[in-house]
Amino acid sequence: MTASSNSQAPLRLLAVHAHPDDESSKGAATMAKYAAAGVDVMVATCTDGSRGDIQNPAVEGEPHPKRDMAGARRLEMQRAAKILGIRQRWLGFVDSGLPEGDPLPPLPAGSFATLPLHQAAAPLVRLVRSFKPHVILSYDENGGYPHPDHIMAHRVAVEAFGAAGDPARYPEAGEPWEPSKLYYDRAFSPERFRALHFALEEAGLQSPYAERLAAWLESDAEGHTPPPAPHPTTTQVDCGDFFEVRDDALRAHRTQVDPLGFFFAVSPEMQRRAWPWEDYSLISSRVPSELPEKDLFAGLR
C-alpha cells in the first residue's frame, strides 16, 4: 500500500534521530506545531544514549546517570515527548559514542554505527511500514554534524525511505508502505546563526555565535567548518509560537543540556523576530512539489 492510495487524515510525520535529546534540538518546534494541529508525529530514536557524557554541571553529582545513563536518558526522553505532544519509539541500538584522540580509536563492537546497513535499517523499515508516515525527517550525509551515530541515522533513514515501499526488500518487516517525502533537517544552517548573531549585536548583547561565524567566514574550499551544505533550504516552517515548547523539551534532557548554555542564548521572543522558522531541505518527493515551501505536507493536503 502506498501513501498515494491511502493518504486520508491524519497526516503522519516520522523524525529519525540518533540519540535521545536530538529530537529536541533539531526540528522540535516544527513537530510540536504539527502535533498541536492534529498531525500524528513520531520520533524514532536510534540509540539508547548510553555513552553520552553529562553536559549539565547541575547534574554532575547525581547517582542515576552515573550508574545508568541509558535509564536516565530514557526517562528524559519520556518527559520531552510528553512536552512536545508526540509519540516516540526506540529502535534498540547501542550508542557508539563520539571517538576522540589521534588516531581515533575504533568504535565499540556492536554499537549502532558499526553495524551492516541492512541490520541497522531493518527496525526502521518495520516502523515505517507499521506507522505509515507520509513525511520522513532526517539528517544530511554529514549527520548534521559528523558524529558516527548521526551519519548512521542518516543512512538508515534514506534506506528506509527507499525500501519500505518495495515488497522485495525487507520482506520480513511487514506490509509495504511508501512514504511520500524525505527532508533533511537544517537546524545548524549558517543563515539562521547569522540572523541570530546580528539580532543579538543590534540589541547590544554578546553573541555566542561570533566564533562559529568567524570560522565559517575564514574557511576556504579545502576546509569548511562545518562542510558546506550540499542541500539548500527549500522549506521553512513558521513555528515561532512553539519555541518555548521546544526549549522546555530540550531542558527535559537534563544530563545533556545546560539550561544556561548555548541553546538558550537567544530568547524565544528575539528568535521570533529574527528567524521564526525551522529550515529543511526537500530531498525526495513522490508528490508534485513547488519550491520554496512553507509546509512539510505541501502536495499531500
Dmax over Cα atoms in the chain, in whole Å?
60
Claim to verify: residue 108 and residue 256 sit in the same structural domain = yes
Q: What is the pLDDT of residue 229?
A: 62
Q: Are residues 50 and 60 in the same domain?
A: yes
pLDDT tens-digit readout, 71-95 = 999 999 999 999 999 999 999 999 9
**Separation of alpha carbons 284 and 147, rounded Å:** 24
Strand duo 277-285 + 235-238: pairing: antiparallel
What number of residues does the chain have?
301
Looking at the structure, do residues 214 and 89 belong to the same domain, yes or no?
no
What is the Cα–Cα distance from 36 to 86, expressed in whole angstroms? Answer: 9
My answer on whether 106 and 212 are in the same domain is: no
C-alpha closest to that of 257 among 16, 12, 28? 28
224 and 96 belong to one structural domain: no
129 and 180 belong to one structural domain: yes
Q: What domain count does the chain have? A: 2
Whether residue 294 lies inside any domain: the answer is no
pTM of the predicted model, to two decimals? 0.93
Domain end, chosen from 181, 209, 228, is at: 228
In a domain, 257, yes or no: yes
Q: Is residue 295 included in any domain, yes or no?
A: no
What is the percentage of the chain residues whose pLDDT exceeds 70? Answer: 92
Is residue 43 domain-resident? yes
Same domain assignment for residues 62 and 44: yes
Mean pLDDT over 45-68 rounds to 94
Show contacts of 87-90: CB within 8 Å, 24+ apart.
87/40, 87/41, 87/42, 87/43, 88/23, 88/42, 88/43, 88/44, 88/45, 89/42, 89/43, 89/44, 89/45, 89/127, 90/45, 90/48
| Domain presence at residue 92 | yes
Q: Tell me, what's the pLDDT at 127?
A: 98
Task: For 229-286, write each residue's pLDDT tens digit.
Answer: 679 999 999 999 999 999 999 999 999 999 998 889 899 999 999 999 999 999 999 9
In a domain, residue 274? The reply is: yes
Sequence-ordered list of residues with C-beta below 8 angstroms from that of 173, at least 6 positions apart, any chain: 122, 125, 126, 129, 164
Examine the domain organization and report whether 77 and 208 are in the same domain. no
Is 292 part of a structural domain of the chain?
no
* Per-residue pLDDT at 52: 94
Assess whether 115 and 75 both reside in one domain.
yes
Residues 179 and 205 occupy one common structural domain: no
CATH number at residue 158: 3.40.50.10320
217 pLDDT band, cuts 50/70/90, is: low
pLDDT (0 to 100) of residue 3: 42
Domain span at 198: 191-228
Q: What is the mean pLDDT of the segment spanning 160-176?
A: 98
3-state secondary structure the chain: CEHHHCCCCCCEEEEEECCCCHHHHCCHHHHHHHHHCCCEEEEEEEECCCCCCCCCHHHCCCHHHHHCHHHHHHHHHHHHHHHHCCEEEEEEECCCCCCCCCCCCCCCCCCHHHCCHHHHHHHHHHHHHHHCCCEEEECCCCCCCCCHHHHHHHHHHHHHHHHCCCCCCCHHHCCCCECCEEEEECCCCHHHHHHHHHHHHHCCCCCCCHHHHHHHHHCCCCCCCCCCCCCCCCEEEECHHHHHHHHHHHHHCCCCCCCCCHHHCCCHHHHHHHCCEEEEEEEEECCCCCCCECCCCCCCC
- Which single residue is written with the C-alpha cell 519555541? 243
Question: 22 and 130: one domain?
Answer: yes
Q: Is residue 299 part of a domain?
A: no
Confidence (pLDDT) at 4: 40
- Residues 110, 159 share a domain: yes
